Amino acid sequence: MDIRIAAYGVIIRNGEILLSHWHEHGRSAWTLPGGGIEGAEHPLEAAKREIREETGYDAEIDRLLGIDTMIVPAAKRHHGSAPLYAMRIVYRAHVVGGRLQHEVGGSSDEARWVPLDEVDSLTRVSLLEIALRMNADEPADGAPSRA
């Protein structure tokens, strides 16, 4: 089984959430800015790096919102012959600098502030809904939120 650990940021201001448009292998959807941890990188640093790479913004992490895991069967993967265990660490964050810009040469092609009441109308990855629920529930002990 392959393992992927990634870190993401939920950044909300003035009723809008900062999203990144992911595209890869002919698929695309809106997601949180974030991505895979590199080497021995700390998840907090990975989240800040990925936010900067995908949106152009510098961010500070406010708190851990939760951790989500899933298994992607080998048959549903576009590369790799083994199942994938994905651990997704979700933080609340806020912008402290930089300016909105789109990633070049990565797995995303657009960054945008989206009104929260428009998120449901977007084609989005499941993590976005999970993270918004984590943000609303804000479990203080790191326990999974109850759906």
Give start and end residues of each alpha helix (H) in 17-141.
43-55, 126-137
Looking at residue 38, its pLDDT comes to 96
- The reported pLDDT for the residue numbered 138 is 67
Residue 107 within any structural domain of the chain: yes
The distance of Cα 9 from the centroid of its chain, to the nearest Å, equals: 6
Q: Residue 144: pLDDT above 70?
A: no
The Cα 21–Cα 129 span in angstroms is 15
Domain count, the chain: 1
- Whole-number pLDDT of residue 139: 52
Nearest CA among 22, 41, 32 for reference residue 90: 32
Look at residue 144 and tell me if it is in a domain. Answer: no
If you average pLDDT over residues 11-35, what whole number do you get? 92
Residue 146 lies in a domain: no
- pLDDT for 110-128, tens place per residue? 999 999 999 999 999 999 9
Closest by Cα among 141, 144, 117, 147 to 12? 117
CATH value at residue 115:
3.90.79.10
Q: Residue 145: inside a domain, yes or no?
A: no
Residue 35, in any domain of the structure: yes
Question: Containing domain of residue 126, as a range?
Answer: 2-137
- Confirm whether 147 is domain-assigned: no
Per-residue pLDDT of 28-69, as tens digits, reads 899 999 999 999 999 999 999 999 999 999 999 999 999 999
Q: Over pLDDT 90: what percentage of the chain?
A: 76
Per residue in 64-99, pLDDT (tens digit) is 999 999 998 888 887 778 999 999 999 999 999 999
**Dihedrals φ, ψ of 41, to 5°?**
-60, 140
